[in-house]
Chain A
């Protein structure tokens, strides 16, 4: 596999996106680290290369294009906009040292308020078309349905906020759910704290930046939480049934509609998924055979909050996804400082396509 072949493949894919109306954009390789640290927290250090610039402070080798493209659009872009880019990105591979830490990505991103279902379908169809000759396996999902389900739970706003915060960490999410449903024991330290009439009197010397008021506020919050009624078990069961839905789109819609009968909060999100299926079909996608997995996109793709999709190479379970993407409205809200724009997009790895061609 030669670098020239990868670059040529990337250029061809990018040219295809330009032909279908995208504007080419470029981004610096060395980016200020604070935005990405704010978004991903300390975990980004295990996934990206950070280094120090004596003037600019902490900087990061571009770990993806999405964040800089969103920032560029928010700063200077006109609406609606369609962008494409191609270039190297850099990822640390502590878990998989056999994978490259520098590779190419070609992306296509749509910023359009008019028709979210149509934009979702447009992005997926463009990818599906560009990848048609590689026999990849496509899967779609929808984080929006899970978000709607959490918002609809019969529990306090504080508990919903905690669950929302961990929606992309399935294990932690599950642990919180079990505790709210009374299915996991309360730690003895918590019981002791709640039993004490004035726990702060036992605090000893106050040290550190986190002050008495903050500690007292959390003790109050824990007391309030202890008064919250137990989250009904049938709601936890419904949520579990929901994340287990893994079927072709048509069958998945049917299952989700069944769940929505008992969980009306997700009805709107399921309708949006149905509208997306119609839009996909209108673009020539065979929705009857397209796989839907409700859990897809819940781990590595932390900024996706609606439609998600991935394309994987058949017979290569050890490979990362060849292409992936999704909707990230919330990311534009976070980066937009008060402004926001619905956005959906994805990336292809041309290096893996070249590998597939050579193996064929």
Chain B
């Protein structure tokens, strides 16, 4: 049997992951055609490459169907309840940086902190008769963050894409989303709250805490971690 390593199946995240492993003497490559989602591993015996969508990797790790996986911290923490009992971060890979942040319209000159957001939300609810809407796809993380920050009188509305446009379209008053440079936010007349972000995310190699390892696989895992300098 072999150890299964889950890697994002496309784009820069896949290429950079291949580079990271390559620099440590482990060759990862897609096998066959561009469209085929299978791969091969060189430089170490007994490791199988599984190409998956980055969003599915947390679930596969938590289910124990893969032993190792590369994905963003944001996805792991959003999708897995008590994530730290299901997976263990082994290494931050130094790319795929993105912060999950809360942003409000730049014209809200009176709102810069969570304290301000809470006060504005209370006044908004009194005036409009409904709770201030914050558009996001990271429901659990944002809810926990706002709870910690003592913000109430808001509601989360689901937005799976083009979240920055929701304010202008009057379907939300504020947003919580992943940003790397902030340019899209500025273009949409939004500003980031002057607070610690909800989460600082980057591509990370996780190990499943639940995937069973047989004797031979245990040895392979030791060898692989050794080669990766972990």
Q: Which chain A residues have a beta carbon within 8 Å of chain B's beta carbons?
A: 37, 41-43, 45-46, 94, 97, 162, 165-166, 169, 171-172, 175, 179, 187, 189-190, 193, 199-200, 202-210, 212, 214-215, 217-219, 222
B112 near A165 (CB under 8 angstroms)? no
Give 27 A-B contacts (CB < 8 Å), ordered by A residue: A37-B131, A41-B152, A41-B155, A42-B131, A42-B146, A43-B147, A45-B143, A46-B140, A94-B81, A94-B82, A97-B81, A97-B82, A169-B152, A175-B150, A189-B112, A199-B109, A200-B109, A204-B106, A204-B107, A205-B106, A208-B105, A208-B107, A208-B170, A212-B107, A214-B123, A215-B108, A218-B123
| Min CB–CB distance A94 → chain B (angstroms) | 5
A193 near B109 (CB under 8 angstroms)? yes
C-alpha spacing A157/B18, complex, angstroms: 61
Chain A binding site: helix, strand, loop or mixed by DSSP?
helix
C-alpha spacing A199/B155, complex, angstroms: 28
Choose one: A42, A172, A190, A215; the contact of B156 (CB below 8 Å): A42
Choose one: A97, A190, A208; the contact of B112 (CB below 8 Å): A190
Q: B120: nearest residue on chain A (CB-CB)? A: A218
Residues from chain B with Cβ under 8 Å of A187 in the complex: 112-113, 115, 194
Q: How large is the interface on B (under 10, 10 to 19, 20 to 34, 35 or more residues)?
A: 35 or more
Does B127 make an interface contact (CB < 8 A)?
yes
Q: Top 5 closest A-B pairs, CB basis?
A: A172-B150, A189-B112, A203-B107, A218-B110, A199-B109
Does B122 make an interface contact (CB < 8 A)?
yes
Choose one: A97, A189, A200, A208; the contact of B168 (CB below 8 Å): A208
Q: Which chain B residues have a beta carbon within 8 Å of chain A's beta carbons?
A: 81-82, 105-113, 115-116, 118-120, 122-124, 127-128, 131-132, 139-140, 143-144, 146-147, 149-150, 152-156, 167-168, 170, 173, 189, 194
Residues from chain A with Cβ under 8 Å of B147 in the complex: 43, 46
A166 near B109 (CB under 8 angstroms)? no
| Min CB–CB distance A133 → chain B (angstroms) | 36
B119 near A210 (CB under 8 angstroms)? no
C-alpha spacing A214/B108, complex, angstroms: 9
